[in-house]
Amino acid sequence: MTDIIGTTPALPVKRPRLSPLNARRWQNFKANRRGWWALWIFLFLFVASLLAEFIANDKPIIVSYKGETLFPVLVDYPEEKFGGFYAVTDYRDPVIQEEINRNGWSIWPPVRYSYRTVNNELPDTAPSKPFWLFTPEERCARYPQGVDDPNCVFGNMNILGTDDQARDVFARALYGFRISVLFGLILTAASAVIGVTAGALQGYFGGWLDLIAQRFIEIWSSIPTLYLLLIMASILPPGFWILLCIMLLFSWVSFVGIVRAEFLRARNFEYVNAARALGVRNRTIMFRHLLPNAMVTTLTFLPFILNGSITTLTSLDFLGFGLPPGSPSLGELLAQGKNNLQAPWLGLTGFIVISLMLSLLIFVGEATRDAFDPRKAFK
């Protein structure tokens, strides 16, 4: 037979780590330089924000006290340990700092404020300007020893100023970035799971199930989400998870349409029929043969839905119906900027962080879309 391929006994072709299809997609993704860089910058920022406790915190990372090594970042030590009597140690208290320094040493994060730490040595009234707008003398005017005070160090300066409650803006932006991205990611992932499942079942089984579910979704998605959120927010105690659940109730719907369409189209593909003829279970067929088809469109949509979730959270925070008061939130930062026009660093920081975050995600999304576009085969 002339049709036999590879007649020479070549080395066995090993299964490549990525399937050729995925390898090509990865190449296409990398070919979009903007998206490629955006991905790395975003990953860097995201990982940094995940480690926010080690970057901006009002506790030292490591304390060596009387021969004992302590990790205040991870463990709450009562003040008794350092000779005080409060339940929680305030490491920013000069008395505690002196006690630690006499019996050992401490390593502080680069920024010595957490998102809720109030700066008691403010050079100005809150909201106060970024430190580089003050002279060195002014910066430390409130410390007992002025410029020579041991606490007059970079870590105690407010890089981006403070907000109207004397909290460090840099720390709040860092923690706010983290909570926004995490909120967006969890919400998107959860709604993807629910939406894809619902769309898959409807598309695969069709018929009455599809008909009823589609009508339900039509009614469900015509409920004005924002009003409902406002009403719910006034009944339920505000919180990250409550907010997430309420938004999840509505956000999964956006996936159903595309996934259902893909399943409807692909369920009659010949290789799906072939699998059915082999006696493969419905569940296996859906996972193995149909889901990969639907995932292409779903993945293309994901970054944009992610951005939508983040924007919704930010706007709720801006209106004051979002995360509980005191939480680090970019929306709240924007609201403060609006209320304190004399302190432009508030609004500017909020704007820059949000726009940077959303732009990076959109660039990554564009590159993902390119990567999955089958017509992008040629360069």
SS3 85: coil
Establish if 21 lies at the interface with other proteins (CB under 8 A).
yes
Q: How far is the CB of 18 from other proteins (least distance, A)?
A: 12
Q: How far is the CB of 198 from other proteins (least distance, A)?
A: 23
**359 token code pair:** 């732009």
Q: Are the CB atoms for 149 and 97 separated by under 8 Å?
A: no
With contacts defined by CB under 8 A, how many residues of the chain interact with other proteins?
Answer: 37
Nearest alpha-carbon partner for 203 in 139, 262, 253, 270: 262
**249 token code pair:** 């109730």
What are the φ and ψ backbone dihedral angles of 70, each rounded to 5 degrees? -120, 150
Would you say 21 or 153 has its CB closer to other proteins?
21
Could you say which residues in the range 124-163 bind other proteins, by CB under 8 A? none
SS3 126: coil
- Give the end-to-end CA distance of the chain in Å, rounded to a whole number: 38
Would you say 107 or 377 has its CB closer to other proteins?
377
**312 token code pair:** 């919704």
Would you say 17 or 102 has its CB closer to other proteins?
17
Establish if 87 lies at the interface with other proteins (CB under 8 A).
no
Establish if 207 lies at the interface with other proteins (CB under 8 A).
no
R_g (Cα) of the chain, nearest Å: 27
Q: Are the CB atoms for 310 and 231 separated by under 8 Å?
A: no
Would you say 3 or 148 has its CB closer to other proteins?
3
Could you say which residues in the range 263-322 bind other proteins, by CB under 8 A? 269-271, 273-281, 284, 288-289, 292
Specify the DSSP element, H or E, that contains 104.
strand 104-107
SS3 4: coil
Q: How far is the CB of 279 from other proteins (least distance, A)?
A: 3
Would you say 141 or 280 has its CB closer to other proteins?
280
Q: How far is the CB of 36 from other proteins (least distance, A)?
A: 17
Q: Summarize as ranges the residues that interact with other proteins (CB under 8 A).
A: 1-7, 9-10, 12-16, 19-21, 27, 269-271, 273-281, 284, 288-289, 292, 377-379
